Structure 1
């Protein structure tokens, strides 16, 4: 049972990390290149691509959290988990930080971007790159710590 939950947990985490990486390093640069100076067209297509994804990601984050807690509960009898509890604590803090950034991007940044003037868009686009890169770094590090915790 533990192995199945671990595979689900790792798969969900990999999906979140992979989706962010793909968006940040493939989709966003291609949109920028394709639309060039046409900020309005780029923003319109970006909004279409992002539309409806907020609650899917919230569900993904929730499923990662639930499967993580289930893993800890299933493994509570193993001595190595007690010795390395700090890895799970750091992982949880990293994922909470990434979730906080996601909340900010979803409920603060995107509304600002939707109603931004053409002059405001470049700064908002740069801010999103910083936020997305930070979120990717936090989730990637949490994923790596999860692998480490499983192997120590």
Structure 2
């Protein structure tokens, strides 16, 4: 049971961190290069790519959290590591909630003049989320060696 929970927990955490890093450092720059000055085309494709993902990511977060609780109960790693990881996950989840239910709807209806500000803010929020989740992942790896 513990090994299965660890595989699920680490696998989904790696998928989340990897997906965010890939989007930030590969997909988004290529979209900017491909569309060039065609902001409307880039936004349309970005919205199509993002459509419907909020519930998938929330499900992913829920399974990461649930498997983390199983590991908390079943492993002997220090409690502080689990508490810090949980705090980081809550922070990333809060940012994801804000982006999904506040930032993104505003971005969809932004004027051309407002759009660059929303794009920049989303990049900053995504970088912070990546930092939080990446740190939590690193702590999880460290916990296996304690």
Q: Same fold (TM over 0.5)?
A: yes
* Alpha-carbon distance between aligned partners in 1 of 2:43 and 2:86, rounded to the nearest angstrom: 33
- SS at 1:37 equivalent: coil
Q: Distance in 2 between matches of 1:11 and 1:103?
A: 22
CA distance in 2, matches of 1:126, 1:150: 37
TM-score by length of 2: 0.97
Query: 5 Å matches for 1:58-97?
Result: 58-75=58-75, 78=76, 81=77, 84-97=78-91
User: Does the alignment pair 1:130 with 2:124?
Assistant: yes
Identify unmatched segments of 5+ residues in structure 1: none
- CA–CA distance in structure 1, aligned partners of residues 25 and 97 of structure 2: 21
Q: TM-score, normalization: structure 1?
A: 0.94
Q: How does 1:22-33 map to 2 (within 5 A)?
A: 22-33=22-33
Aligned equivalents of 1:108, 1:36: Cα separation in 2: 27
1:120 aligns with 2:114: yes
Q: How many residues align?
A: 146
**1:99 is matched with which residue?**
93
Answer yes or no: is the 8 Å Cα contact 2:89–2:132 preserved in 1: yes
CA contact 2:61–2:93 (8 Å) conserved in 1: yes
* Partner SS state of residue 144, structure 2: helix
Aligned partners of 2:144 and 2:66: how far apart in 1?
17
| Counterpart for residue 7 of structure 1 | 7
Q: In the alignment, is the contact (CA less than 8 A) between 2:72 and 2:79 conserved in 1? A: no
Q: Give 3-state SS (helix, strand or coil) of 2:113's partner.
A: coil
What 5-or-longer segments of structure 2 have no aligned partner?
none
Query: Does residue 52 in structure 1 map to residue 52 in structure 2?
Result: yes
SS of 1:44 mapped into structure 2:
helix
